[in-house]
Structure 1
Amino acid sequence: MSREGRYPSCCGHALCLTSFFTRISVSIRQKLSSFKRDFKAIYNMTPASWIREKRLEKAKEMLEATQLPVSEICYSLGFENISHFSRIFKEYHGQAPTVFRH
């Protein structure tokens, strides 16, 4: 089965995140810009940064708890580029995913 068949094609894209945040803001009857401003005031980071951190924390957990290949972890969390995933994982956790696991 191809990667495209297993994982949502838009996860992680700015367009997909904007759509997601738009749906949230509409459901709470707030403008998207107001939602993002309020979110940043509460969490001291943008909604997209918050989601990225949560995905990187989940990647760390998966590396510790499973033997899944790094590429499978990367794609299952919505990252579409392994080199980008590895770079931001290293920036966030201090080690590349392959080094972190060993």
Structure 2
Amino acid sequence: MATRIPRNAKRVFYATESTTRTKPDGEVIRVAGREQRSTTFREARKFLDDLGVPGGVTVWTERSQQTNSYADRRADGTWVSLNRLTGVWEPLPETIKEVQK
């Protein structure tokens, strides 16, 4: 699925699948697999959920011209995000309805 990113997008979310590979010497390394760019976190989250794989979502912002970690999908299907104030990874709600409660 190709997502069209407008040229004047203020934020771009990058969803990247995490996979592991074994080097010839037996060392296991983490490498990036499939990825998708999208304009909303919801699209990026859906991409990884549909694949059913662990991965991460980073966000690029026009103002800072930097890419930062936004959220991670664990192998068990749970989502966590980094609280920038405390530096602790916190679980994300499963659905938008849980946020509205």
Structure with bigger strand share is 2
TM range (shorter): under 0.3
Q: Give the TM-score normalised by the residue count of structure 2.
A: 0.25
Higher helix share: 1
